[in-house]
Amino acid sequence: MKAFFTLLALETRVLARGGFPVVILVVLAASALSVHALRAVDAAADAASPAGLAGPERLEAGPWTFTVIRAAARPALHERMVTTLLVYEVLILGFLFVAVGLFQQFEEGSLRAYRLSPGGQARWMGAKLLVWTVAGVAYGLAFLAASFELPAWRALPGVVALSALGSLLMTTLGLLLASFSRNLSQWFPPAVGLLALNMAPAALAESWPEARWFAPGGAALAGFEALLGQGDAKPLGAAFAWLGAALALALPLSWLALRARVFKEGGR
């Protein structure tokens, strides 16, 4: 365990010193401000709309009379922004930064030195995944707090659990992808492609809701919407199951890729 805690301390120090905190704080501020701006837009739209549905609206058609009790609820813009940013910004934190950290270690050669220590691959990988998962959850909570969108206490454990699972999955995928590249330039095109695929479900949500189950981002989006009361609560279990299954597949793949490309004899 001593070696694992040593690696945790290393990863935390690297996270704290590598310029990451500044980047994270800037992005956090921008994201929270965008939610506040959209909240103002939502409020302005509400104020500009007529009395709204002050009373039941009646529609008459032939012999039938319909009474509209309430319009189908659609989350406000700023609420949708919160779930979107939770999935496509908070959860990909580890995906991006674990790759940056890995390339930094390639460049300075420290990973080569580490390979000739008794630290081993399992501890190395475990420490990275744990640190970036915790960082992802902490960043998510900070984002919700800064956006004044912290959920009710009852929903908080679910939000934390889904953030942790999603961050862990994306960080694992980040390591998997990074193991096939030597530097940021090589990594960038496939990473952007993968992130675009991950975002596709959000773009297709209106016309093809089932598409969300084709990518981790869509599954996580369904989960967060259920947790934050923006939609049906039913997909929550499916979202956890989907992300859990994806993680069960991604972990061994990432392990094998790192073993073959980074840690094995002849690796970098």
Partner 1 sequence: MILVERLRHDYEGKGNYAVYDVSFSVAPGTIFGFLGPSGAGKSTVQNILTGLLPLQEGRAELAGTRVSDLRSAFFNKVGYSFELPNLYNTLTGYENLAFFAGLFSVPTEDPMKLLARVGLAAAAGKRVAQYSKGMKQRLLFLRSIINRPEILFLDEPESGLDPATALVVKDLIREQRDRGAAILLTTHNMYAADELCDRVAFIDRGRILAEGSPRELKLGYGEKLVRVEYRERGEPASERLDLAGEPGRERLAAIARSGALETVHSTEATLESIFIELTGRRLAE
Task: Please identify, using beta-carbon distances, which residue of 112 and 234 lies nearer to partner 1.
Answer: 112
Q: Does 232 bind partner 1 (CB under 8 A)?
A: no
Burial class of 174 by CB neighbour count within 10 A (0 to 12, 13 to 18, 19+): buried
Q: Is residue 143 within 8 Å of residue 31, measured between CB atoms? A: yes
- How many residues touch partner 1 under the rule CB under 8 A: the total is 27
- Which among 96, 127, 125 is positioned nearest to 20, based on CA atoms? 96
Minimum CB distance to partner 1, residue 103 (Å): 13
CB of 115 to partner 1, least distance (A): 7
**Stretch touching partner 1 by CB under 8 A, among 86-94, 101-109, 192-200, 216-224:** 101-109
Tokens of 63: 């012999």
Q: For CA atoms 25, 161, 244, 79, give the dihedral sign.
A: negative
Q: How far is the CB of 106 from partner 1 (least distance, A)?
A: 10
In three-state secondary structure terms, 205 is coil
For residue 266, state whether it binds partner 1 (rule: CB under 8 A). Answer: yes
Site string for partner 1, 105-134 (x = CB under 8 A): x--xxx-xxxxxxxxxx-------------
Of the two residues 164 and 184, which places its CB atom closer to partner 1 in the complex?
184
- Cα(203)–Cα(186) distance, rounded to whole angstroms? 27
Per-residue x/- track, 13-32, partner 1 (CB under 8 A): xx--xx--------------
Q: Which residues neighbour 36 within 8 Å (Cβ) at sequence distance 6 or greater?
A: 78, 147, 148
Task: Give the DSSP letter of residue 76.
Answer: -
The residues binding partner 1 (CB under 8 A) are 2-3, 5-7, 9-10, 13-14, 17-18, 105, 108-110, 112-121, 265-266
